[in-house]
Amino acid sequence: MHDAYPYLRGLIYNQPLMATPALADLADEWAHAVLIEGRERLSVGASAAQTKVLAPDAIKAAGVAVIPVHGALVPRGNTMTACMGTSSYDRIGAQLDAALADPEVRQIALDIDSPGGSVQGAFELAGKIAQATKPTTAIVNFNALSAAYLLASTCDSVSVSPTGAVGSVGVVALHRDLSGANDKAGVKITAIYRGDKKLHGASHAPLSDAAQQELQTQVDEAFDQFVAAVSTHRNLPPDRIVGLQAGVLHGADALSQGLADQMETPQEAIDRLAGLAQAGAAQQLQQTQRRHAMTLRAQALEIAARI
């Protein structure tokens, strides 16, 4: 096994993922090609390559900070994961902090095109977005699925295009059993260990009933947390979310099921947010001028009283 990517292998197997089946299959295909066969790596962020990226610098001038949420989502990022078309929760969080601290920013937009990703770190970032002190909007450009929809649901509003996709509120876990392949290759692995659960999920053996039940428990717990978060932030009954059965909804269907608030193109959404930001700036300027005028009047009255 050419295991040059232990961090990514740990993200793919034997733990819950809030990801679409397509992403899970693609991640498994990538892992088999790179980690096992050592072939040239595949991108695990296929949708990101087709994303129409909103121009953040130009939009920020209008008072809107655009935070990209593209490709597969991982807890922490580095140069390698960035080159693979992924986004990390820690980087998104840092960009959110910067936008909140910037006095020129009045609206925050998440530019989302992601099939989801890791459970680890997702709920922490979702909570941070929910507590943002500036208006937040999720712009589905054009996929906000699974973990990406968790992030979108915590925003103050969700904008989806007529063909945009949201939902996939579900959890999946994968285990790759290499025991048959090892037997054919004449490879025998002997593990020396202590602790009954130490080898749960090991790829050189079939998944045991105990390990499968443990993994299923983790999936169930993550799913319940996922449903509770979407229910709270979207003000929807949990039964309705569960009833979607991790389905993907587009455009008008997303609105009718309460998973989105506006149907508009990404550019229309940005234009709308820019208008709100500029209107807020104008209002603040008027208030500042009014306070300044009142201060000058008070000073004038004080001087007149002394004469």
185-215, pLDDT tens digit by residue? 888 888 787 887 777 767 777 878 888 888 8
For residue 289, the tally of other CB atoms under 10 A from its CB is: 10
Please tell us whether the domain made up of 6-175+222-275 is placed in CATH 1.10.10.410. no
Q: Is the pLDDT of residue 4 over 70?
A: no
How far apart CA 78 and CA 66 sit, in angstroms, is 21
Using an 8 Å Cβ cutoff, are 161 and 82 in contact?
no
Residue 206 is given by DSSP the state P
Q: Distance between CA atoms of 238 and 232, rounded to whole angstroms?
A: 9
Query: Does residue 44 have a pLDDT over 60?
Result: no
pLDDT at residue number 210:
86
Bridge partners of residue 250, in order along the sequence:
165
pTM of the model: 0.76
Q: Mean pLDDT score of the chain, rounded to an integer?
A: 79
Longest dimension (CA), the chain: 104
Where does the pLDDT of residue 132 fall: very low under 50, low under 70, confident under 90, or very high at 90 and above? very high
146, 227, 247 from 169: Cα distances, Å: 5, 7, 7
Quick one: which of 229, 233, 175, 26 has its CA closest to 115?
26
Mean pLDDT of all residues in 77-94? 75
The average pLDDT across 283-298 equals 51
How far is residue 207's CA from residue 211's CA, in Å, rounded to a whole number?
6
- Paired sense of beta strands 116-118 and 136-145, if any: unpaired
Query: For residues 287 and 245, which has the higher predicted lDDT (pLDDT)?
Result: 245
**Confidence band (pLDDT; 50, 70, 90) for 307?**
low
Determine the pLDDT at residue 293: 47
- What's the distance, Cα to Cα, between the start and end of the chain in Å? 91
User: For the residues 70-90, what does the mean pLDDT come to?
Assistant: 76
Amino acid at 152: A
Delimit the domains of the chain by residue range: 6-175+222-275
Beta bridge partners of 144: 114, 166
pLDDT digits (tens, 9 = 90+) for 150-177: 999 999 999 999 999 999 999 998 877 7
Distance CA 218, CA 296 (A): 64
